[in-house]
Structure 1
Amino acid sequence: MNDKSLAQLFDPRLLWDYYQLTKPKVVALLLLTAWVGMLLAEPTLASLDRMALGLAGIGLLAAAAAAMNHSLDSGIDAQMRRTRWRPVARGRITSRAAMVFALWLALLGFVLLYWGVNPLTAWLTLASLFGYAVVYTLLLKRATPQNIVIGGLAGAMPPLLGWTCITGQLSAEPWLLVMIIFAWTPPHFWSLAIHRRDEYAGANIPMLPVTHGIEFTKTAIL
């Protein structure tokens, strides 16, 4: 690797673009809800080492899902004002490079959870990545106005993942936390979709305000 290649590799602008691929604000919110699951899992404070490893692994897999979304949705992103500045949509990073980056993050996160926390959390977190990056992004988003209702389950999983990090088992309590976020997600997203209705229509994405109108969507939100 020559000096020019090294300079490009460590270009602060390129590093910032890769950082943006991970949707850091979204990942921070997911980690917050995972942390809540960890705190509620046991009557006393769990091991800080286990909590740190769990949050790191969940964060890496969430970041991988975000980067996959950038790669798979680059064509749609380029058509919408809210997303057309994204690195892949603008061509600053190729779709292939974003996907390779995502796969490395996913591998690192999975190994960290599997060996450092427990296999159950590793597989559940990987399933959440698959639900968001494949089931929602590739299939539901383009196929049905119920996309965010069904696909929202992936984003609601972190409290359960936090719980299993500490306990190593499934139980009813974290599923209640999952259902709270699951129920909140569609009205939250539909309100944003109303605001961006024309952009979704232009990108041929069947969001509820596009397929059923704004008044129907407001009723669904209520």
Structure 2
Amino acid sequence: MNASTSSPVVGLSVWRQYSALTKPRVVQLIVFCALIGMALAVPGLPSRGELGVMLAACLGIWLVAAAAAAFNCLIEQRIDARMKRTAWRPTARGELSPRQALVFSALLCSAGAAVLAVWVNWLTLWLTLATFVGYAVVYTVWLKPTTPQNIVIGGASGAMPPVLGWAALRGEVGAEAWLMCLIIFLWTPPHFWALALYRVEDYARAGLPMLPVTHGNAYTRLQVLLYTWILLAATLLPYLIGMSGWLYLVAALLLGLRFCWFGWQLWRQYSDDLARRTFWFSIWYLTLLFAALMVDHYVAPWLY
């Protein structure tokens, strides 16, 4: 899950340098999607005990996700230094050493794992650690530098937050959790390829085989368009299986059709500005879509 192009701030304090390694905006979206998974896992309002588990799960998932982000910055130190979008990061600028980044990542991961093991459950712990490995190792070390399908394949780990949240409250993973995971999985390619379209020179300079670099602008735009329509179809499934009601359905249709419109415009007449607006809309799209799921879940007893 990638949700920020990051605005550079040079001369950061040591505290802010470490904070920057955690990619706060990305992690916030991860925790938010996990929280939605928790909310939907409980019929009605959560009890006091469930609220405690939700708080602990959010903290544990945040710590492990932040650790994965820091490890990503460590592994991609040289690549980040070549890219305008990421050259400001403390590891890329040499303001934090690889050892400092590694120790910081290890401490965050250990603390998050302890929180999940003690106050949540072991299933959530193992799923969260598997997500860490999927993003920080499988995606960052293997997929990203070797295949233009890195976002598609690696998107599986980024789509896991609702599954983690569901497991935290239920102690198991249901079909509803995997459906939310599917939605994020299908959202990831058009979200990230919109960014890659207007940052293509950055990726080419860094030697990364992103789709616009290997297959060109026109092919990538077509893929964005196709994925927005596939995503729209997937977002209707919660309503069709009775997981949500008409309030969510209306939101899914309005947001999905807007996303498809962006995809259509990109395919017909490309501009960097339009790709940039598509990328930022995609972040709001996912946030509002999952917020609609939660609102529908809580108001359903009074409306339906």
Determine whether 1:55 maps to 2:58. yes
Find the partner of 2:193 among 186, 190, 194. 190
The equivalent of 2:265 in structure 1 is none
Provide the aligned C-alpha RMSD in A.
0.8
Determine whether 1:26 maps to 2:2. no
Which one-letter code corresponds to 1:19 in the other structure? S
Determine whether 1:35 maps to 2:38. no
The whole-number CA distance in structure 1 between the counterparts of 2:204 and 2:26 is 24
Q: Structure 1: 5+ residue runs without aligned partners?
A: 1-11
User: For each residue in 1:77-132, what CA deviation from the matched residue of structure 2 results, as whole angstroms up to 9, or x when unmatched?
Assistant: 00000000000000110112101100111011011101210000000000000000
The whole-number CA distance in structure 1 between the counterparts of 2:151 and 2:117 is 29
Which one-letter code corresponds to 1:95 in the other structure? P
Moved more, 207-216 or 93-102: 93-102
User: For each residue in 1:172-213, what CA deviation from the matched residue of structure 2 results, as whole angstroms up to 9, or x when unmatched?
Assistant: 110000000000000110010011111111111000000000
The equivalent of 2:134 in structure 1 is 131
Q: Which runs of 4+ in 1 moved over 6 A?
A: none
**How many residues in Structure 1 have an aligned counterpart in Structure 2?**
211
Partner of 1:78, secondary structure, is helix
Q: Which has the higher contact order (CA 8 A, sep 6+)?
A: 1
> 1:155, CA displacement in angstroms?
1.0
Q: TM-score, normalised by structure 2?
A: 0.69
Q: TM-score, normalised by structure 1?
A: 0.94
1:139-154 alignment runs, 5 A limit: 139-154=142-157
Partner of 1:170, secondary structure, is coil
Partner of 1:142, secondary structure, is coil
User: For each residue in 1:31-69, what CA deviation from the matched residue of structure 2 results, as whole angstroms up to 9, or x when unmatched?
Assistant: 110110011001123321100000000000000000001
The whole-number CA distance in structure 2 between the counterparts of 1:22 and 1:177 is 24
Which one-letter code corresponds to 1:200 in the other structure? Y
1:200-219 alignment runs, 5 A limit: 200-219=203-222
The whole-number CA distance in structure 1 between the counterparts of 2:192 and 2:162 is 20
The whole-number CA distance in structure 1 between the counterparts of 2:103 and 2:176 is 36
